[in-house]
Amino acid sequence: MYRAFRKMHKRKNHAAEEPRLADQKDKPPKNKRDLLKQVERQYVEDLRNVKIDRELDVNQKMLEGMFKDSSDFVIRAFEVEKGPHALVIFVDGLIDTAELNAALKVLMVNEGGLRDLDALTRMSLPVSQITEVDNYADLVKSVLSGDSGILIDGEERAVLLGLRGAKGRSVQEPETESVVRGPREGYVENIRTNTAMLRRKMKTPHLKMRSMTIGRESNTDIVVAYHEGLSDPVTLQEVIGRLEKIDIDAVLDSGYLEEMIQDNTYSPFPQVQYTERPDTTAAALLEGRFAIFADGSPFALVVPTTFWQLMQANEDYYERFQMATMIRWLRYLFVVVALTTPALYIAITTYHQAMIPTTLLLSLAAARESIPFPAVVEAFIMEIAFEALREAGVRLPKTVGQAVSILGALVIGQAAVEAGIVSAPMVIIVSVTGIASFTIPRYNAAIAVRMLRFPLMILASLFGMYGILLGMMLILGHLANLRSFGVPYLSPIGPLSTGDLKDVLIRAPWWAMGDRPAFLELQDKHRIGEELHVEIAAHGGQTGEKVKHGADRDKGGEKG
């Protein structure tokens, strides 16, 4: 059923792509002298049809016009020794000045008689990254991204020197996905640094990185990374297709992309996973998923995403599997706790008092005796206060953050109970809920749970347990209906794919993770070598041939 759905999509995309390509070809360039005016109010991408002129003066006028009043844009004219006039353009601050100076030195001092651009690039310039462009779109875009452009009189092409040297944040430990055990490097804002980190994890030509630019004004570099031998080509087209459709002025963070490529935009559940970690990204690619990087964002998007994936942390795979399994169960339990505890409290104390053990009911009654509000109002007061506290804690500068926790703990926690405004059990419920929502490893999944708590509380106050059940069924139905790039959101549980439960119900030890997820369309399912699996399964570990164990050891094994 879901394959048919994918095929349908495939056809749709082909149909959609063709007219777009045709679109770009018309509108040939008009009179060059008129261009300047026309160019001024255009987006960079629209300059693709404006070719670089043979005359340097025209180009210079063009650029000066374009970057009028831009103090950071440098246009410097110079002369190649014994050669033509030339221009170097760059954005101050984005380039490595020393490197550029060295390159210019070669041109201005050492080289003579080289009139040919090809010869120049091939033989003279001591720069490793050199690209030639023939239109303004590429030129301007690259220069604005940090390349240095050299235009030479009499050439219809310009040379781009990749001498980027913009100052950025250095690689640090990722803050949103910290680990006890595991790599401690996280992505930064520079897309090249990020792709390099990913490349270091996967030293294979199969790792492909398709790049594109999105954003009419921001011209943000986007990279779609995938494993060529694994990932499904149809899904790749779908990913690229969805990204290409995006027409927006700027992409300031990958979050912009997420909202525009997800399957169901009204769902509270994230259908796109984001990660700050190269290891998580690599793991996703090795399952045939796709990673989308956006320049300026330290978060890579991973698609397709399933619900269970959001319940997994990368450390699950680094720490012993028994512990990881237990932690996973704990998380599943606490997702339910985070979602339903306040609702259950309301439902049980206002509808089903008979369900509470007598002594507990009596102490509940004692605590609630002087509370002026109904349970649901009390719950709402506390839950909203807690959400506000959390929000305040996140946004405030760290130095002020302490004040928030003091206020929260003392004023809301203690004073409110002592004043008899909220009951002590309610404070416990809110705390349990809060802690439970922190156990969800993905922040965006936790957000969904936090939001859905409130409608459940309303349902509980109106219909009791029955309301909670209805609400949960609606949520479950919605989850079952959700797709992420065609993959059912609840897979491999729904639709059930038993082989994949080894990474959902439990975290199987690595030697038993023989196959990649079956619910994803993959070209190669095989992950682990057969031989070692058989050996470890048979002996309960690698008992080894060279060293002896236990009693055999005393009899004089080789290592004795």
Partner 1 sequence: MRQRLTALMLLPVLMSALVLTGCWDRIEVNDIAIVTTTSFDLEEDGRYRVAVQVPLPGQLGGSSGGGGGTSGTKPFYVDSEKGDTIREAVQHLQSRMSRRLFFSHRRVMVIGEELAKSGMREVFDVTSRLPENRLTANVLIAKGKGIDLLKAQPQFEMYSGEAMREILESYAVFNPSQKDIAHALSQIGADPILPLIEPATSTGGEKRKEVHLSGYAQFRDDKMIGTITPAQAEGVAWLRKEFRPYEKTLNMGKGKLVVRLYQGESKVTPEIKPDHVHFNVEIEAEATVIEAVEVEDLGRSDMIEKVERELSQAVAQAVLESAELVKERNSDIATLGINLSRLKPRVWNERLKWNWHEGELGKTTFAVKANCQVTRLGQITENIARKETVTD
- 341 to each of 87, 414, 540, how far by Cα in Å? 68, 21, 41
Of the listed pieces 75-83, 316-324, 344-352, 382-390, which binds partner 1 according to CB under 8 A?
344-352
Near partner 1 by CB under 8 A: residue from 196, 330, 362, 396 = 362
Q: Does 267 bind partner 1 (CB under 8 A)?
A: no
Least separation in angstroms between residue 354's CB and partner 1 is: 3
Measured from the CB atom, the residue of 212 and 470 that comes closer to partner 1 is 470
Distance CA 2, CA 559 (A): 57
DSSP state of 135: B
Residue 74 tokens, joined: 């440098």
CB of 367 to partner 1, least distance (A): 4
**CB distance 484 to 303 below 8 Å:** yes
Q: In what order do the strands lie in the sheet with 73-79?
A: 73-79, 85-91, 148-152, 158-161, 130-133
CA 288 – CA 228 distance, rounded (Å): 8
Which residue of 176, 363, 431, 439 would you call a contact of partner 1, by CB under 8 A?
A: 363
The encoded tokens of residue 9 equal 């999509």
| Position among 65, 233, 420, 494 found at the interface with partner 1 (CB under 8 A) | 420
Which residue stretch of 229-237, 365-373, 443-451, 504-512 sits at the interface with partner 1 (rule: CB under 8 A)? Answer: 365-373
Please, are residues 56 and 86 in contact by the beta-carbon 8 Å criterion?
Answer: yes
Among 370, 405, 523, 543, binds partner 1 (CB under 8 A): 370
Q: Which stretch binds partner 1 (CB under 8 A): 52-60, 135-143, 414-422, 529-537?
A: 414-422
Is residue 350 at the binding interface for partner 1, with CB under 8 A as the rule? yes
166 in contact with partner 1 (CB under 8 A): no
354 binds partner 1 (CB under 8 A): yes
Query: What is the smallest separation between the CB atom of 422 and partner 1, expressed in angstroms?
Result: 8
Smaller CB distance to partner 1: residue 298 or 471? Answer: 471
Residue 278 contacts residue 201 (beta carbons within 8 Å): yes
Q: Which two tokens stand for residue 297?
A: 């964002």
Chain positions 448 to 487 lying near partner 1, rule: CB under 8 A, are: 461, 463-464, 466, 470
**Comparison of 89 and 375: residue with beta carbon closer to partner 1:** 375
For the bound state, the minimum distance from the C-beta of residue 5 to partner 1, rounded and expressed in Å, comes to 14
Can you tell me the distance from the alpha carbon of 270 to that of 282, in angstroms, rounded to the nearest whole number?
20
Question: Amino acid identity of 6?
Answer: R
- Kindly report the CA angle at 143 between 137 and 146, in degrees rounded to 5? 140
375 touches partner 1 (CB under 8 A): yes
CA 550/CA 543 separation, integer angstroms: 11
Of 23 and 369, which CB lies nearer to partner 1 in the complex structure?
369
Please identify which residue in 254, 281, 306, 349 interacts with partner 1, judged by CB under 8 A.
349
The answer to whether 361 contacts partner 1 (rule: CB under 8 A) is: yes
The minimum distance between CB 212 and partner 1, in angstroms, equals: 33
Rounded to the nearest 10 degrees, how much is the dihedral formed by the CA atoms of 204, 223, 279, 186?
Answer: 130
* H runs (alpha helix) in 41-176: 56-66, 97-105, 117-119, 136-145
CB atoms within 10 A of CB 114: 18
| Residues making contact with partner 1 (CB under 8 A) | 349-351, 353-354, 358, 361-371, 374-375, 417-418, 420, 423-424, 461, 463-464, 466, 470
